Amino acid sequence: MHLVKRIGWLRAAVLGANDGIVSTASLVIGVAAAGQPRMTILLTGVAGLVAGAMSMAAGEYVSVSSQSDIEKADLAREKSELATDWDAEHRELALIYRRRGLTKELADEVATQLMDHDALGAHLRDELGISEQLVARPVQAAAASAASFSIGAAVPLLLVVLLPLALIGWGVAIGSLFCLAALGAISARTGGVGMLVPTLRVTFWGALAMAITAGVGLAFGATG
Ligand SMILES: [Zn+2]
C-alpha cells in the first residue's frame, strides 16, 4: 500500500489519539493535584472522554461534510458542462495532458479515448483531482476521529483505575507521556521520516499541557 494512502488515515488517527491522551491526562492530573478523591477524578476523566470524542466527531463531520458538499457541487457542474459542451470539455482535458508532457496529437487521442470510456470519471480525476480513494466520507471520518480520541483517552483513565490514589498524578503523567512518545515514533516511522524530532515534539507539548493543568489544580487545591 503506497505511503500516501497510509498517511491520510494514520494522520487523523494519531491526531485523535494524541488529543485524547493529552486532554484527558491533563484533566485528570489537574483534578488529582487539587486533592480530589478517585471517583471524582475518574468521573472528570470519563466526562472529558465523552465531551472530547463528541466534539472531535462533530468537528470532523462538519468539516468533511462541507468538503463533500463542494465535491457534489463540482460533480453536478461537471456533469452539466459535459452535457452542454462536450468539445470544450475535450479541449480542456487534452490541455491538461499536454501540460503533463504529452504531444498535442497524443493528448487529443488520450482525451478522446478516456472520455469515450468514462468522461465524468476522467474529468473528476484529472481536472478536479477527485478520485474514489479521496472522496469525502463524513460519517467514517467522524467515527474514526471519535474512536481514536476515545482510545487515547482510555490510557489515563485506565491508570486512574489501576494506580494508588497518591501516585495518580505522576503515574498518569509518566504513563501518558510514554504513550505519546510511542505514538509519535510510530507515526514518524509509518510516514517514512526520522523518529527523534516528531517524538520529542509531541512529548514536549503533552508535558507542557499536563504541567499547566497540574499547576492550576494545585492552586485550586491550596485555596480549597
Ligand atoms: Zn471538465
pLDDT tens-place string over residues 143-155: 989 999 999 999 9
- Among 126, 145, 167, where does a domain finish? 126
Predicted pLDDT of residue 134: 64
Domain shared by 101 and 29, yes or no: no
Domain shared by 142 and 88, yes or no: no
Mean pLDDT (the chain) is: 91
Q: 197: part of which helix (H) or strand (E)?
A: helix 196-223
Cα–ligand 1 centroid distance for 95 (angstroms)? 11
- Report the alpha-carbon distance of residue 171 to residue 39 in Å, rounded: 17
Domain shared by 214 and 142, yes or no: yes
Helices (H), 34-103: 38-84, 86-99
Cα–ligand 1 centroid distance for 81 (angstroms)? 7
Confidence band for 220, pLDDT divided at 50, 70 and 90: confident
Cα–ligand 1 centroid distance for 120 (angstroms)? 8
Q: What are the cell numbers at 73?
A: 457541487
* Range(s) of the domain holding residue 118: 74-126
Domain shared by 180 and 211, yes or no: yes
Phi/psi at 110 (5° precision):
-60, -45
In this prediction the pTM is 0.79
Q: What are the cell numbers at 99?
A: 501540460
- Among 89, 107, 126, where does a domain finish? 126
Domain shared by 113 and 143, yes or no: no
Q: What's the Cα-to-Cα distance from 103 to each of 31, 109, 126, rounded to whole Å?
A: 68, 10, 17
Domain shared by 113 and 17, yes or no: no
Cα–ligand 1 centroid distance for 89 (angstroms)? 5
Cα–ligand 1 centroid distance for 160 (angstroms)? 57
Phi/psi at 137 (5° precision):
-125, 90
Domain shared by 97 and 188, yes or no: no
Q: What's the structural domain count of the chain?
A: 2
Q: Kindly state the DSSP code that residue 193 receives in the 8-state scheme.
A: S
Domain shared by 143 and 216, yes or no: yes
Domain shared by 143 and 122, yes or no: no
Cα–ligand 1 centroid distance for 102 (angstroms)? 18
In a domain, 69, yes or no: no
- Report the alpha-carbon distance of residue 6 to residue 50 in Å, rounded: 27
Predicted pLDDT of residue 131: 73
Cβ pair 187, 11 in contact under 8 A: yes
In a domain, 140, yes or no: yes
Domain shared by 175 and 157, yes or no: yes
Shortest CA distance to 149 belongs to which of 5, 9, 19, 34? 19
Per-residue pLDDT, averaged over 109-114, amounts to 97
- Report the alpha-carbon distance of residue 20 to residue 155 in Å, rounded: 9
Cα–ligand 1 centroid distance for 1 (angstroms)? 30
In a domain, 169, yes or no: yes
Domain shared by 140 and 219, yes or no: yes
Cα–ligand 1 centroid distance for 101 (angstroms)? 19
Phi/psi at 130 (5° precision):
-100, 115
Place of cell 495518580: 168
In a domain, 82, yes or no: yes
Domain shared by 58 and 144, yes or no: yes
